[in-house]
Every structure is written in C-alpha cells, then in structure tokens.
Amino acid sequence: MKIQDLVAQIKKKQSFLCVGLDTDLDKIPQHLLKEEDPIFEFNKAIIDATQEFCVAYKPNIAFYEVYGLSGWKSLEKTITYLNANYPEQFTIADAKRGDIGNTSTRYAKAFFEELNFDSITIAPYMGKDSVEPFLAFKEKHTILLALTSNTGAFDFQTKIVEEQELYKRVLKTSKAYENAGNLMYVVGATKAEYLKGIREIVPESFLLVPGIGAQGGNLQEVCKYGMTKDIGLLINSSRGIIYASTDTKFAFSAREKAKQLQQQMHLELKQLD
Ligand SMILES: O=C(O)c1cc(=O)[nH]c(=O)n1[C@@H]1O[C@H](COP(=O)(O)O)[C@@H](O)[C@H]1O
C-alpha cells in the first residue's frame, strides 16, 4: 500500500488506530476453544467488529510462532482474510527481524511476498546492509525500532554515542539508506516527551506508536508532539482492545473500545483543519 492511500484512509475514517492482534489462547473466550482454529476465529471476529474504526492491523508474530505450525496457519489465514475482505487496511507483521543481507532478503520475501503484509518491524542493530534488503521492496514499508516503549529502552537507545543518543543516530543514519522513503519508525507512547526532538530529525515519517492502554501511554500527548500535517502516526493498542471483555460479547466490547479511541482521534484530527 502507498503512503498516500494510508493517509486517505486515515482522513476518511478519522482514525489512525492500529489494532494489535496479540492473540493468546489463554486469554480468548473459552467457548472459542472448541473451534478447529480458535485463533483465526477470534481474529476474524475482532477484525469484523473493529475494522470500521481502524486503519491498520498488527499481528505480533510471537503470538503465532508459539503454537508452531498451527500458529503459522492461523497467521496465514488472518492475513489472507484481511487482504481479501479489507484490502484498505494497512497490515504490519510485528516480527522485529533483521540479519545479514541475504538472510534479511529471505525474511522480507517471507513477510512481503509469501504472506503479503504491507510492512514489517525491524531491529536496526545490524545496520544498513541488514535493513536495505527490506527497503528494496516497492510499496512495502520497513518500520525501524527507534525508541521503544519498554524500560529496557534506556539500556542502549538513550545512551550517548558520538555526542548523540543512539536512537537519534538510528533516525539520522537510516535517512541516508537506499529507498529510505519506505521507512517508518517505532516510538513508544510511553516516551511521548521525546517526540518533539524526534520530529526535528524525521519531520514527515510515519511513526508506529505502541504503548497506549495497558502500558500507560497517553494518546493526546503523542498527538501533541508527534502529529504532522499528514498525520504521520499509527497508534497501536493490542490488549486494551482485543481483551476488552472475554465473555461471548468480546467482539462487541472490542468494537466499543476501538470506537472510543477513534472518537478521541477524530478530535485530534479536527485540530489539523
Ligand atoms: O514494535 C512494536 O509493535 C512494539 C514496540 C515497542 O516499543 N513496544 C511495544 O509494545 N510493541 C508491541 O506493541 C504491542 C503492544 O501491546 P499492548 O501493550 O497490549 O497494547 C505488542 O505487540 C508489543 O510487542
């Protein structure tokens, strides 16, 4: 998907919400466990119930890998369902990959070609030749971890390297990569106060912002410092939406949560007009 198409969807739906499909068999409603593929049935119900209020879905791959072959099948069915029924939705494989060049190319083919995701999350630690194989794919997007939402972010990302915080160096250095136009960045909602400085380096790039809801990040704070004239934000919520309730009304509860967030986003977007 092209960025212009994503921006058009955001404006049309008045939402820059990404729903995280971190689907856990221990947390989904128990009545689904009798289905042949409970993970897919859960995802399908959540997608159908929330799609009106969001513009993106982000399955975190760990939640599928943990179930081996059957988990991969559930993931494949989920992305196929999304692409077939809601092709306007931007899809993110939250896989946090990155390796030497030829290996990165295999990861890119797996998620961009075999599974047909629009984007993938990538760790920048191995540098240019580990990231560029992902950037080589046209109309696909590489979402580089910049400043993450967890406390461990302070172990390395905020440390000074050549007179600058490492996450700022990641932003600056990656801007010079080949096909850098395909880059987006992850910035945790719990680090909203850093967004002003981040926008000085990447004024227009789209940011994937996880960490509202369960992790305590604040949507208004993120918008205040992170929003651009073309919005430039995808705000993710996983547990806060998909486990809003765990009874037979789970899909309706998820829809209500997504709707609440969409309404808050609508208010933020009105300020851009
Ligand atoms: O890349 C991510 O999506 C990510 C980066 C980050 O810094 N923090 C973070 O929480 N995430 C992911 O975003 C999701 C957050 O889930 P909730 O806290 O349940 O909304 C999980 O899938 C995390 O793996």
Q: Give per-residue pLDDT as tens, 160-205.
A: 999 999 999 999 999 999 999 999 999 999 999 999 999 999 999 9
* 262 Cα–ligand 1 center, Å: 19
Q: Is 96 a catalytic residue?
A: yes
From the list 96, 128, 224, 259, the catalytic residue is 96
What's the whole-number mean pLDDT along residues 265-271? 95
Identify the pLDDT of residue 273. Answer: 77
Atom of ligand 1 nearest to the CA of 60: 22
Mean pLDDT score, 267-273: 90
Q: Which atom in ligand 1 lies closest to the alpha carbon of residue 63?
A: 22
Ligand 1 test: best mutation among 186, 195, 208, most atoms within 8 Å of CB? 186
* pLDDT of amino acid 104: 98
User: pLDDT at position 233, please?
Assistant: 98
Residues within a 6 A CB radius of ligand 1: 20, 22, 60, 94, 121, 148-149, 186, 188, 210-211, 213-215, 236-240
SS3 235: strand
CA distance 192 to 198: 10
* pLDDT > 90? residue 13: yes
CATH number at 45 reads 3.20.20.70
Percent of the chain with pLDDT over 70: 100
Average pLDDT, the chain: 97
Q: How many domains does the chain have?
A: 1
Share of the chain above pLDDT 90, in %: 98
Q: Please give the average per-residue pLDDT across 56-60, as a whole number.
A: 98
CA atoms of 190 and 148, how far apart (whole Å): 8
Structure tokens at 41: 């049935």
The b-or-e profile of 23-38 (16+ CB within 10 A means b, else e) is beeeebbeebeeeeeb
Q: Going by C-beta distance under 8 Å and a sequence separation of 6 or more, which residues neighbour residue 95?
A: 61, 107, 111, 120, 121
Global confidence as pTM? 0.98
Average pLDDT over residues 134-152: 97
Give the 3-state secondary structure of 23-86: CCCCCCCHHHHHCCCHHHHHHHHHHHHHHHHCCEEEEECHHHHCCHHHHHHHHHHHHHHHHHHC
CA angle 153, 159, 160 (to 5 degrees): 155
239 Cα: distance to centroid of ligand 1 (angstroms): 10
For residues 110 and 128, give the distance between their C-alpha atoms in angstroms, rounded to a whole number.
20
- Please tell me the distance between residue 6's alpha carbon and the centre of ligand 1 in angstroms: 21
Substitution site in 236, 237, 241 for ligand 1 pocket (most atoms within 8 Å of beta carbon) = 236
The yes-or-no verdict on residue 224 having pLDDT over 90 is: yes
Cα 206 from Cα 231, distance rounded (Å): 8
Segments in 128-211 forming alpha helices (H): 128-135, 153-156, 166-174, 195-201
Average pLDDT of span 139-148: 97
What pLDDT sits at residue 105? 98
Ligand 1 center to 231 CA (angstroms)? 20
Residues 69-75: what's their mean pLDDT? Answer: 98
What confidence tier does 72 reach under pLDDT thresholds 50, 70, 90? very high
pLDDT grade for 135, boundaries at 50, 70 and 90: very high
Q: State mean pLDDT over 134-159.
A: 97
From 94, 96, 141, 234, give the residue whose CB has the most ligand 1 atoms within 8 Å, as the site to mutate: 94
| pLDDT tens-digit readout, 81-118 | 999 999 999 999 999 999 999 999 999 999 999 999 99
Which band of pLDDT confidence, cut at 50, 70 and 90, is reported for residue 213? confident
Q: What local confidence, expressed as pLDDT, does residue 214 receive?
A: 83
- In the numeric block, the tokens 């960025």 are attached to 3
Task: Give me the domain span that covers residue 205.
Answer: 3-270
